[in-house]
Amino acid sequence: MEKRRRELEHAAEEIEQLFADLWQVFPFSRGMRRGYRPEVDVYRTGNPPSLTVVVELPGVDPGEVEVIASTQALLIVGERRRPKDCGQYQQLEIDYGPFQRQVTLAEPVDPERATATYERGFLTILLPVAPTPAPVESISIVVTAS
94-121 pLDDT, tens per residue?
898 999 999 999 999 999 999 999 999 9
Domain CATH for 67:
2.60.40.790
Q: Give the integer Cα–Cα distance in Å for 26 and 22.
A: 6
Q: Look at residue 65 and tell me if it is in a domain.
A: yes
When divided into structural domains, the chain yields a total of 1
Provide the mean pLDDT of the chain: 84
Q: What pLDDT, in 10s, does the model give residues 52-65?
A: 999 999 999 999 99
Question: What pTM value is reported for the model?
Answer: 0.69
Strand order in the sheet with 50-56: 40-45, 50-56, 122-128, 115-119
Q: Is residue 117 part of a domain?
A: yes
Is 67 a domain residue? yes
**13-16 long-range contacts, CB within 8 A, separation 24+:** 13/102, 13/103, 13/104
Structural domain contains residue 107 = yes
- Taking phi over 0 as left and psi of -120 to 50 as alpha, with beta for the rest, 18 belongs to alpha
Chain centre to alpha carbon of residue 146: 50
60 assigned to some structural domain: yes
Residue ranges making up the domain that contains 52: 36-128
64 compared with 16, residue with greater pLDDT: 64
Radius of gyration of the chain measured on its C-alpha atoms:
21
- Residue 18 has a pLDDT of 65
CA distance linking residue 56 with residue 39, whole number of Å: 5
Q: Please report whether residue 26 resides in a domain.
A: no
CA of 75: how far to CAs of 48, 111, 144, in Å?
23, 12, 47
Within a domain: 9: no
